[in-house]
Chain A
């Protein structure tokens, strides 16, 4: 069953120095019990997308399109309904646990807050639930009485996860939930997250810039570039056999150890990440694209289905695929 469906989502930040189209037409769907990874480098619109899901963007952001959560459009909801949906239906784990926790409240209280708000429980029950949740993420119950600063980064991130689970939401959005953490801790948290999701059958949106991490933990991966999804498909396939040059480059940035091709040969993309306020015409990736052709400069590619439940927004790949398919057909 479709839990989340984005339909041509656009987000534009209106500002003094012109508009920033941070998200430019994204279509995505996510079913219950599945994990969707969103990859892409800094500034490509990942967080904007995440915030848009619960309409948490600042006033300066214009949102267009549709966000269907359990079939209901988040963007047209009344504020009261929206508040009810928030956290109870979908919760978010933000990147900076350091700043996403309120420094002056004990963590137990912060976890209990949405329970009290959305459920019909007493403070006591909420507090017990909070302690239980802490246990679920591997923290002792007495940690509920700690203040955020008394916890390490990984512990804080776990508190955030516990908080996200507080109202048994259908959808959990993890926006760079592990970026700042050590590899060891990162592995723990990612493991914990996917475990919890499968266990509960909730949907998980996992946002990261590390494609290799996503491929290891997600069912499906969408790669974003300059506010658009440029490639989408089953995680393993996207990583091992990218259909968009950008995906390839991103994958190569995280070399696999033992892969002699990567040894003493670091690979990266020439040029700089795009400025969303000043995007090049045509395919936004063309200035950095090793395979760019002339038409890439003028023609904006659409995200097309290329079979095997994979989609790509690269003209070159698309034509190659269709050529291959044509060849196959003729063959």
Chain B
């Protein structure tokens, strides 16, 4: 334990400004630790590349690449100079489709996760903090959602709600919030049992103060790590749903590309160029998120961190 506070002594600046600096410093420390996770850094680089690709999609392949009436390629042509990854069954470039598909896959994965995490955090935090019948109901509900087979529920709900990007997002969020609730609740309970909450109560702190000043900041890092690990699940779920034919066929996501490939006989036609890119893209994004998530967890969850005894 080094006395880092000593070097910040200097002329007394306002505590707030200094606090900001401390925060910056701890961010830097976090980054220094994160940087030591080799897989995490790889994942981060991969992820940034993919996000960049998704953002630049209009530059790399203009929107007309998705137009069926303007498509010039042949039906499931193998890779060629004009079409580095071949074409799909309507003559569009698989490369362009895959690049454009990244946008929707990422958007669905991220939005669904944000929704799920939001629901999960609010429910978990409040139920953990307040207890009582409210917590009982929240807990039962999340337990219930937790044990239900996610894909089954998602399929059923999608069949009911109809297919669109919005419903897909909602459905994925609905089947994945429960884990976060449990996590947040467990973490809330454990923070709740820490002496510093007792101290805060003894200082006269109210519920709001306890939740926002003490519990939430201590729960957030774990939520962040778990959210990072939720994104891959969401992306995989989306692709599975789309592949099963439960997505919106009018939009281009990796899952829907694979669905089209499957139903238009790409496997029979041995059109590997049609099957590989979207699948590999999913694999890359998912493993990138997993790597980042696991690295975050390793940094933020000291249980996994320490070597030795």
Contacts and interface: CB of A to CB of B under 8 A. Distances in A.
Do A and B share a complex? yes
Interface of A: 13, 16, 58, 60, 275, 278
B125 to A, nearest CB: 31
B1 A275 contact: yes
9 contacts: A13-B308, A16-B36, A58-B307, A58-B308, A58-B309, A60-B307, A60-B308, A275-B1, A278-B2
Cβ-closest 4 pairs across A and B: A58-B308, A60-B308, A58-B309, A275-B1
Contacts of B308: 13, 58, 60
A299 B2 CA distance: 24
A13 B308 CA distance: 10
Interface string B278-309: 00000000000000000000000000000111
Interface string B254-271: 000000000000000000
Main SS of chain B's interface residues? loop
Contacts of B309: 58
Contacts of B2: 278
Nearest to A58: B308
Interface of B: 1-2, 36, 307-309
A13 B307 CA distance: 11
Nearest to A56: B309
B206 to A, nearest CB: 35
A278 B4 CA distance: 14
Contacts of B307: 58, 60
Given A58-B307, A58-B308, 7 more contacts: A13-B308, A16-B36, A58-B309, A60-B307, A60-B308, A275-B1, A278-B2
B36 to A, nearest CB: 8
A13 B306 CA distance: 14
Contacts of B1: 275
A47 to B, nearest CB: 9
A275 to B, nearest CB: 6
A17 to B, nearest CB: 9
Contacts of A58: 307-309
A58 B307 CA distance: 9
A280 to B, nearest CB: 13
Nearest to B308: A58
A278 B6 CA distance: 16
Contacts of A16: 36
A179 B2 CA distance: 28
A275 B2 CA distance: 9
A38 B35 CA distance: 41
Nearest to B2: A278
Contacts of A13: 308
A16 B309 CA distance: 15
Contacts of B36: 16
